[in-house]
Chains A and B, each alone.
Chain A
Amino acid sequence: MGDDILSYNGGVALAMKGKECVAIACDKRYGVQNRTIATNFTKIFQYSDHCFVAFCGLATDVQTVSERLKFRTNLYELREQRKLKPVVLYNMLTNLLYERRFGPYFVFALVVGLDPKTGETYVYDSDNIGAVSDNVNLATVGTASEYIFGLGELFFKPNMNSDELFEATSQALLNGVDRDSASGWGAVVYVIEKDKVTVRELKGRQD
């Protein structure tokens, strides 16, 4: 699997908070070490009207964990007859990851959400064994996470509206992935507001 399992497939994701809106973005590269195999591998998954999760790391685990989480959230919605809240989704995910504490999945996760009634925003991140974080303004995961963190901190302002948030998120992601050979080949940005979710595809440097 190469020296570093978490950079075998590459990929990156970023989440940022605004005023009553959150954004989550990821690149689209699917590679095997230095070979790019596909440019349509998005790492963001939707679990409820206003709840999204991004997984970065080993591609097989990105797929498996996202699907196994979907299994659990589907049953939750059927049993409880209600939609998931971001905090609950986050805790279900970290619980799932910790179940494999001594033979873990190789994915780091970002959970974002919005309460459509109050406008309260949620951005959390998790390592691959389910360490919880606080509700933060900015979070990144993946092979280019450090680069994007730096840019994200630069572009972030508190209480941005959805357009400013989109710009800040997109610029941080696009410019960050240019420094990383294992990420890039386009991006997808979700901006989640109280009444709608907007998805935009970005074309950056195709290398």
Chain B
Amino acid sequence: MSERYGFSLTTFSPSGKLVQIEYALNAVNAGSPAVGIKASNGVVLATEKKSKSLLHDDRTIHKVESVCKNMGLVYSGMGPDYRLLVQKARKLAQEYMLVYEENVPPTQLVKRIADVMQEYTQSGGVRPFGVSLLICGYDYDEDRPFLYQCDPSGSYFPWKATAIGRNFVNGKTFLEKRYSDQLALEDAVHTAILTLKESFEGQMTEDNIEIGICDKEGFRRLTPAEVKDYLAQIG
């Protein structure tokens, strides 16, 4: 159908920046906030999931997605780009399992996802992804949880706790004060909700936020009922 460009659309500016990536980061920073916190025994991912209209029936669309048994994702930025990355991440995890008969370690999957994102900054005729991902997982070999952020450029960063999307600076400042290495998963969920609350407009309910947790048992998204319980505890 359409012929591919042989040349990349992401080209250097005179100052040495890749402007397309900067713009992609702008798209990320305009997206709804997402938070990730690594506790001593697990990781929590949380995000705002506001509907544009009261007519939206949003219970079946999810932002927090599982990739494989021991890993999950959340994002800030463009939803459709995220969907593609979730599909690719799931396939990469299964390819690993097929060859090694072992659950993919979080560090390895993050590298592979980041390589995919980098590819789109150096291939012909494509644009970078307009999302930053927060990737959480449990490494069974090292017996500990991991939290990573993956940017449109393909860089990835391991975090103890971080916020992305709108008001991420305030989010990170809030986390810097609240974070401790002794945090347990339960406390981390509370902290994540409080961090989201800092930039939340209106009333937080179990229908307009999504939370996922990853511990030794694996990754799962909390049900609206469970989210409601946590919200009630915060009061």
Q: Kindly supply a per-residue 1/0 record for chain B positions 22-63, scoring 1 wherever the CB is within 8 Å of any chain A CB and 0 otherwise.
A: 000000000000000000000000000000000000000000
CB atoms of B108 and A80 under 8 A apart: yes
Q: Kindly supply a per-residue 1/0 record for chain A positions 57-90, scoring 1 wherever the CB is within 8 Å of any chain B CB and 0 otherwise.
A: 0000000000000000000000110100101101
A111 to chain B, nearest CB (A): 12
B134 to chain A, nearest CB (A): 22
CB atoms of A91 and B100 under 8 A apart: yes
Question: CB of A92 within 8 A of chain B?
Answer: yes
Question: CB of A33 within 8 A of chain B?
Answer: no
Question: CB of B105 within 8 A of chain A?
Answer: yes
CB atoms of A79 and B108 under 8 A apart: yes
CB nearest neighbor in B for A91 = B101
Chain B residues positioned under 8 Å from A88 (CB to CB): 100-102
CB nearest neighbor in A for B104 = A80
Chain B residues positioned under 8 Å from A92 (CB to CB): 99-100
CB nearest neighbor in A for B105 = A80
CB nearest neighbor in A for B102 = A88
Interface Cβ pair total, 8 Å cutoff: 21
Q: Kindly supply a per-residue 1/0 record for chain B positions 92-107, scoring 1 wherever the CB is within 8 Å of any chain A CB and 0 otherwise.
A: 0000001111100101
Q: How many chain A residues touch B (Cβ–Cβ < 8 Å)?
A: 10
CA distance A159 to B108 in the complex (A): 37
CB atoms of A87 and B102 under 8 A apart: yes
Secondary structure class of chain B's binding surface, majority of residues: helix
Chain A residues positioned under 8 Å from B102 (CB to CB): 85, 87-88, 91
B194 to chain A, nearest CB (A): 36
Quick one: which of A85, A87, A91 contacts B99, CB cutoff 8 A?
A: A91
Question: CB of A135 within 8 A of chain B?
Answer: no
Question: CB of A95 within 8 A of chain B?
Answer: yes
Listed in ascending order, the chain A residues whose CB lies under 8 Å from chain B are: 79-80, 82, 85, 87-88, 90-92, 95
With A79-B111, A87-B102, A90-B101 known, 8 other A-B pairs at CB within 8 A are A79-B108, A80-B105, A80-B107, A80-B108, A85-B102, A88-B101, A91-B99, A91-B102
Return 21 A-B CB contacts under 8 Å, by A number: A79-B108, A79-B111, A80-B105, A80-B107, A80-B108, A82-B141, A85-B102, A87-B101, A87-B102, A88-B100, A88-B101, A88-B102, A90-B101, A91-B99, A91-B100, A91-B101, A91-B102, A92-B99, A92-B100, A95-B98, A95-B99
Closest 5 CB pairs of A and B: A91-B101, A88-B100, A95-B99, A88-B102, A91-B100
